[in-house]
Amino acid sequence: MAPTKISELSPSLITFLSSETPLTDRFSASLPAPADTDHLGALLADALRCASAGILASGLALRLEGNLGAGKTSLIRAALRRLGWEGAVKSPTFTLLETYPCGEFTINHFDFYRFEEPEEFEDAGFQDEFRPGAVCATEWSEKAFPYLPPADITVALSIEGLGRRVEITAQSPLGREILASISESWNSTAAA
């Protein structure tokens, strides 16, 4: 039977849920067309470039949330294109991890959808990929709890009419730096 009260949740899950989203920094926008998701991906890439010193020093945990088809891989594909990646960009649903060297840093795109047990994260040695110089974008992160490092920034995509909606929250100083860059760039292009 599923827990119905906070007191019935495990202490580690309560810690995970409460530490994930201080909700002090947030950005949201409507993405009515695929080009808007691509634009957001390009702004994400620009923000990652601007934050490269922090990424090189500590790495970045980028959590991607959304149902199947919400646009998580499309967003990463657009970011990779902006960063100069010319090769194929595919969803890591079956491979679990796709790695893309992008100049100064690497983007590791994970998909934990097929995990049966969270221990598979450790068994696969994925914790070694969360390192300085790596942007680790994770889909279906809850399936790797409690082994997954805390997110620096979370990008939640949802279907909205014929388009999408995005909500981005920052959970660390590096995440806030990236969020501020995206928000400022989005607002300046919307005003133009």
Q: What is the pLDDT of residues 38-77, one digit of tens each?
A: 999 999 999 999 999 999 999 999 999 998 888 899 999 9
Q: Above 70 in pLDDT, residue 105?
A: yes
Q: What pLDDT, on the 0 to 100 scale, is given for residue 71?
A: 87
Q: What pLDDT, on the 0 to 100 scale, is given for residue 190?
A: 66
How far out from the chain centre does Cα 167 lie? 11
Q: What pLDDT, on the 0 to 100 scale, is given for residue 4?
A: 43
Helix (H) or strand (E) holding 29: strand 25-31
Q: What pLDDT, on the 0 to 100 scale, is given for residue 191?
A: 54
Q: Above 90 in pLDDT, residue 169?
A: yes
Evaluate the omega torsion of the peptide bond into residue 146 and state whether it is cis, within 30 degrees of 0.
yes
Q: Above 50 in pLDDT, residue 110?
A: yes
In order of their start, the domains of the chain are 25-187 (3.40.50.300)
The pLDDT of 23-36, averaged and rounded, is 86
Rg (CA), the chain: 16
Q: What pLDDT, on the 0 to 100 scale, is given for residue 3?
A: 41
The pLDDT of 19-44, averaged and rounded, is 82
pLDDT digits (tens, 9 = 90+) for 133-151: 999 999 999 999 999 999 9
For the entire predicted model, the pTM comes to: 0.83
Q: Mean of the per-residue pLDDT values for the chain?
A: 86
- Residue 61, exposed/middle/buried by CB under 10 A (0-12, 13-18, 19+)? buried
The pLDDT of 29-38, averaged and rounded, is 93
The pLDDT of 107-115, averaged and rounded, is 93
The pLDDT of 174-182, averaged and rounded, is 95
Q: What pLDDT, on the 0 to 100 scale, is given for residue 192?
A: 55
Report the percent of the chain where pLDDT is more than 70.
86
Q: Above 90 in pLDDT, residue 103?
A: no
